[in-house]
């Protein structure tokens, strides 16, 4: 019983959900399909909407131009739902805005299903008629000079169907009359006058004609351009400059005609000579001429030119006259790192940056110079070397070198440059041989590990040699080590059977550039195997222990042979892994 009740509830819920999402298509027809109306009136249409689907539905009605179209009702039907095959009529009124353009215009009425938001539309056409219209046109001069009047001819035409009076307005200027009465298709022209005492470039302004009794309105835009017929600008370039005494300075004089008419200018100057004293300059053009001047004393000079035509302009330039001798000193590098006990040089360049040839005395605070006196043309350079030896300085120290160059013509200029160098520990080595004492025991073979750490500031290559028995070998014999890195080499001792028991000293030496290190290790022959292995560390001991355990209990001769063979095998494996 309870299961039946639950099933019924479930079926009812499914049916309600299916009904809620069901929707139907719709068909819309508008009548008439085309109508007409005046701007200040309206026209009406009827739209028939039919539910062409298989389910009831409700539709929202909208238009493509809601500002000009009113619809009633906006929801179909007003109450309940629209059954399949059922139709409803919608009223549509089209009331065009006063600013609407005359002519044919299409619009759309749309029905949107509330069930699934599907849209169904129909289109209508409206012919908009304007009884009241006006047209305005303007003609005027392209431009006038400053202070002159610009006169515009403003033509107003009544293009509507009725006589009307129109008020005239403009953003600026004065009309010959502010209001005109025009019959149908009648045109009348009035004057608009503007003037300006300042230049105006293509400034646009609006002119408007507006009916006093209807919506008729029109406007147009035109430009107002006031020209400066006579105006000039002079420039003297450069406006300021430094120049050496008794050397010729050249300045460029520019005369620009910024007016709209050609002009002739007379040029005068307070100092120097002008290449041209009279120039003709067309409107918008610039004429250039030269001014030359040779100052006799080191002092400031102010040069002024004047251009006189229908307009007058001036320009000036300042000369900072200085002593013409000058020099610069520059090291190739501001700092340098060198190795201990090294002869090196610092490159320095002396340049005559003055205006005339000169001879300079050069000195250095450290080391020795390749030349002590140089003669240079203007702009000429000379490369010199300062020779130095780092043996005269402590490792880790930084020293300054100062180079001076002094003019021999005057006490000044006296220029200097500095550069530094730091003496570094370029070649240093830390060497460790482990273990320091090694016992061969019964296996008759021993392996030492050589650790080489480059503690210098440059990469180095070390050659490893030894002083000891002939059966001592080193692999590899040459090792390249980067700075602050560690590399490993190995000492292998394969002791002959007939070698007497006792201690052997082995001297190991690593030699690289500017550095050498030595270390002595001891080889003991004849100790027990296990005792020797205790000094080796865990890496080889376990392997030897396994071998000795396996050979325990056999004869001494067999035990000795197996031990030697095992020792050689393990040493070979170790060497293969490391190399």
Residue 384's pLDDT is what? 87
Domain with CATH 2.60.40.10 in the chain: 24-129, 134-227, 237-322, 328-424, 429-578
Instruction: Identify the pLDDT of residue 236.
Output: 94
pTM above 0.95? no
Residue, of 256 and 365, whose pLDDT is higher = 256
Residue 164 in this model has a pLDDT that exceeds 60: yes
Query: Mean pLDDT throughout 542-554?
Result: 35
Looking at the domain covering 237-322, what would its CATH class be? Answer: mainly beta
pLDDT at 195: 78
Q: Tens digit of pLDDT for each residue in 125-147? A: 999 888 788 889 998 877 778 77
> Does residue 340 carry a pLDDT above 90?
no
The rounded distance, in Å, linking the Cα atoms of 412 and 361 is 12
- Strand residue runs (E) in 495-536: 502-512, 515-525
274-326 pLDDT, tens digit each: 999 999 999 989 999 999 998 877 788 899 999 999 889 999 999 988 878 78
- The answer, yes or no, to whether residue 16 has pLDDT greater than 60, is no
How many whole angstroms separate alpha carbon 396 and alpha carbon 409? 42
Other beta carbons within 10 Å of 543: 16
Residue 565, pLDDT > 60, answer no
Q: Which two tokens stand for residue 513?
A: 């550039």
Q: What is the pLDDT of residues 462-473, one digit of tens each?
A: 999 998 888 888
| CATH code given to domain 134-227 | 2.60.40.10
Which of 62-71, 215-224, 452-461 holds the top average pLDDT?
62-71
Q: Give the mean model confidence (pLDDT) for residues 496-509.
A: 86
The CATH superfamily of 328-424 is Immunoglobulins (2.60.40.10)
Give the least confident one: 86-100, 300-314, 445-459, 521-535.
521-535
Question: For 59, how many CA atoms within 13 A lie in the half-sphere containing its CB?
Answer: 35
Q: What is the three-state SS of 265-305?
A: EEEEECCCEECCCEEEECCCCEEEEEEEECCCCCCEEEEEE
Average pLDDT over residues 345-357: 85
Q: What's the average model confidence in pLDDT over 523-552?
A: 44
Contacts of 188 (CB under 8 A, 6+ apart): 155, 156, 180, 182
Say whether pLDDT at 573 is over 80.
Answer: no
CATH of the domain spanning 429-578: 2.60.40.10
The per-residue pLDDT for 21 is 44
Residues forming a β-bridge with 433: 450
The residues facing 423 across adjacent strands are: 338
Specify which of 75-84, 348-357, 391-400, 564-573 reaches the highest per-range mean pLDDT.
Answer: 75-84
pLDDT of residue 7: 52
Per mean pLDDT, which range of 52-56, 202-206, 207-211, 462-466 is the poorest?
202-206
Residue reference for tokens 């002092």: 299
Model confidence at 59: pLDDT above 90: yes
Average pLDDT of 67-90?
91
* Between 339 and 8, the higher pLDDT residue: 339
With a cut of 70, say whether residue 64 has pLDDT above it. Answer: yes
Query: Which pLDDT score is estimated for 532?
Result: 39
For 495, residues 6+ apart whose C-beta sits below 8 A from its C-beta are 440, 444, 445, 446, 471, 523, 525
- The mean predicted confidence, pLDDT, of the chain is 82
- Supply the pLDDT for residue 51: 94
- Higher-pLDDT residue of 31 and 428 is 31
CA 478/CA 512 separation, integer angstroms? 10
Q: What per-residue confidence (pLDDT) applies to 35?
A: 92
The fold of the 24-129 domain, in CATH, is Immunoglobulin-like (2.60.40)
Residue 263: how many other CB atoms lie within 10 Å: 21
Q: What is the pLDDT of residue 199?
A: 66
Query: E strand or H helix at 567, and its extent?
Result: helix 556-578
The whole-number average pLDDT for the span 205-231 is 85
Output the six-digit token pair for 48.
Answer: 């028939």
How many angstroms separate the CA atoms of 135 and 131, rounded? 13
């Amino acid at each position: 019983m309870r299961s039946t009740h639950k099933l019924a509830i479930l079926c009812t819920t499914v049916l309600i959900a299916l009904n809620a999402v069901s929707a139907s298509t719709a068909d819309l027809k508008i009548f008439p399909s085309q109508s007409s109306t005046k701007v200040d009136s309206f026209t009406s249409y009827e739209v028939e909407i039919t539910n062409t689907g298989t389910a009831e539905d409700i539709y929202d009605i909208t238009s493509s131009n809601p500002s000009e179209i009113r619809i009633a009702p906006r929801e179909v039907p007003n109450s309940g739902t629209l059954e399949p095959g059922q139709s409803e009529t919608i009223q549509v009124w089209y009331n065009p805005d006063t600013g609407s353009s005359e002519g044919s215009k299409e619009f759309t009425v749309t029905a949107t299903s509330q069930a699934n938001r599907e849209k169904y539309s129909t289109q209508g056409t409206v012919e908009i008629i304007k009884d009241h219209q006006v047209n305005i046109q303007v003609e005027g001069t392209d431009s006038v000079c400053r202070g002159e009047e610009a006169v515009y001819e403003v033509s107003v035409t009544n293009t509507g169907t009725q006589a009307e009076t129109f008020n005239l307005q403009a953003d600026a200027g004065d009309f010959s009359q502010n209001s005109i009465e025009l019959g149908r298709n009648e045109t009348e022209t009035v004057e608009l006058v503007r003037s300006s005492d300042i230049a105006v470039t293509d400034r646009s302004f609006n002119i408007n004609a507006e009916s006093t009794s209807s919506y008729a309105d029109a406007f147009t835009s035109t430009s107002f351009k006031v020209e400066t017929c006579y105006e000039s600008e002079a420039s003297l370039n450069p406006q300021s400059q430094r120049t050496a005494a008794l050397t010729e300075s050249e300045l460029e004089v520019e005369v620009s005609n910024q007016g709209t008419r050609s002009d002739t200018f007379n040029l005068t100057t307070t100092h120097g000579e002008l290449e041209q004293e009279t120039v003709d300059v067309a409107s918008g053009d610039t004429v250039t001429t030269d001014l030359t001047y040779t100052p006799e004393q080191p002092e400031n000079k102010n040069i002024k030119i004047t251009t006189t035509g229908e307009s007058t302009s001036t320009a000036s330039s300042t000369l900072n006259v200085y002593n013409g001798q000058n020099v610069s000193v520059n090291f190739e590098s501001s700092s340098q790192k060198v190795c201990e006990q090294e002869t090196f040089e610092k490159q320095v360049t002396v340049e005559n940056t003055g205006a005339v040839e000169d001879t300079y005395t050069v000195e250095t605070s450290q080391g020795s110079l390749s030349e002590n006196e140089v003669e240079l043309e203007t702009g000429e350079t000379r490369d010199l070397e300062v020779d130095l030896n780092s043996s005269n300085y402590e490792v880790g120290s930084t020293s300054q070198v100062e180079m001076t160059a002094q003019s021999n013509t005057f006490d000044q200029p006296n220029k200097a440059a500095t550069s530094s160098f730091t003496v570094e520990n370029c070649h240093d080595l830390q060497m460790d041989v482990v273990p320091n004492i090694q016992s061969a025991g019964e296996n008759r073979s021993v392996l030492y590990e050589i650790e080489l750490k480059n503690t210098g500031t440059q990469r180095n290559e070390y050659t490893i040699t030894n002083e000891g028995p002939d059966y001592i070998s080193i692999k590899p014999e040459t090792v390249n080590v980067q700075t602050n890195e560690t590399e490993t080499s190995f000492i292998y001792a394969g002791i002959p059977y007939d070698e007497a028991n006792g201690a052997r000293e082995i001297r190991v030496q690593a030699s690289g550039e500017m550095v050498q290190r030595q270390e002595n290790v001891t080889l003991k022959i004849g100790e027990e195997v296990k005792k020797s292995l205790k000094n080796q560390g865990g890496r080889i001991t376990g392997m030897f222990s396994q071998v000795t355990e396996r050979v325990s209990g056999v004869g001494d001769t067999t035990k000795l042979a197996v031990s030697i063979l095992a020792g050689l095998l393990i040493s070979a494996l170790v060497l293969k892994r490391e190399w």
